């Protein structure tokens, strides 16, 4: 029987997840068998990551069960771990899932998410993780609390930490939202610079949802620059991709652009 280290399976599953192949990523992780308790935690956390990512992308509801299963795997690994980083990762997934639930309207937030984000920033074991949660503090400030200046500061810090850590996905996320702030301020040239670079980074790491979301923003920018035909053509292509992988919010946003209905730049 062939054997692979859990870390190698997780790497492959991550690439499938970024490609929008969430069921395939989950199937791969479910097929992996580990005797070592620490590897069981690694695989369980990866399943929770895939479920959390899919819930956000497709508005499904699988992450709660996957996160609970990962948490249940922790006690068996106490002798060798789990590591502080794994504990942090579990808390971060809970934050991401709860943010998604609030963002898509299932419940309200009283500021608890912001306080949890600040604690995770303080507890982050490395720059990449600190940058990831700083980015989420930014989108919460923007999308939940109407705190534009605070959001901009968080995105700037997240970009700097991503650059320091060599985390190109984190850099692309921060640039997406820094570009939105430039767009809102009427600086279309700076918005294009940020959004094009964000698109390139997402394409480089194979993040399909991210690349399509960025191309949607570029279609918005084309419309705002006066190129309605170009905007509609790009939106139509993105709409086809998004329909194939069931990315409902991108389908809606690009359909509006194809119809040339005025809308704000979509952000998530």
pLDDT digits (tens, 9 = 90+) for 71-86: 999 876 555 556 889 9
pLDDT digits (tens, 9 = 90+) for 168-221: 999 999 999 999 999 999 999 999 999 999 999 999 999 999 999 999 999 999
pLDDT digits (tens, 9 = 90+) for 131-179: 999 999 999 999 999 999 999 999 999 999 999 999 999 999 999 999 9
pLDDT digits (tens, 9 = 90+) for 26-66: 999 999 988 888 899 999 999 999 999 999 999 999 999 99
pLDDT digits (tens, 9 = 90+) for 102-139: 999 877 888 999 999 999 999 999 999 999 999 999 99
Q: How many CB atoms lie within 10 A of CB 89?
A: 21
For residue 262, what pLDDT is reported? 47
For residue 36, what pLDDT is reported? 86
The reply to whether the predicted model has a pTM over 0.85 is yes
């Amino acid at each position: 029987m062939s054997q692979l280290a859990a870390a190698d399976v997780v790497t492959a599953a991550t690439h499938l997840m970024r490609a929008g192949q969430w069921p395939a990523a989950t199937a791969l992780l479910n097929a992996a068998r580990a005797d070592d308790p620490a590897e069981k935690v690694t695989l369980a956390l990866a399943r929770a990551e895939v479920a959390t990512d899919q819930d956000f992308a497709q508005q499904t509801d699988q992450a709660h069960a996957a996160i609970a299963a990962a948490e249940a795997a922790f006690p068996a690994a106490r002798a060798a771990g789990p590591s502080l980083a794994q504990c942090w990762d579990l808390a971060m997934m809970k934050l991401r899932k709860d943010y998604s639930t609030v963002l898509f309207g299932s419940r309200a937030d009283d500021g608890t998410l912001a306080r949890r984000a600040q604690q995770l920033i303080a507890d982050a074991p490395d720059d990449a993780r600190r940058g990831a949660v700083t980015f989420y503090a930014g989108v919460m400030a923007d999308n939940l609390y109407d705190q534009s200046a605070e959001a901009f500061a968080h995105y700037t810090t997240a970009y700097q930490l991503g650059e320091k850590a060599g985390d190109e996905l984190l850099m692309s996320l921060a640039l997406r939202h820094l570009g939105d702030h430039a767009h809102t301020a009427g600086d279309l040239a700076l918005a294009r610079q940020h959004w094009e670079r964000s698109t390139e980074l997402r394409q480089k790491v194979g993040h399909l949802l991210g690349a399509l979301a960025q191309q949607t923003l570029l279609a918005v920018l084309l419309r705002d620059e006066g190129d309605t035909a170009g905007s509609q053509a790009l939106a139509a292509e993105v709409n086809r991709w998004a329909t194939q992988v069931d990315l409902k919010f991108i389908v809606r946003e690009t359909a509006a652009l194809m119809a040339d209905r005025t809308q704000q730049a979509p952000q998530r």
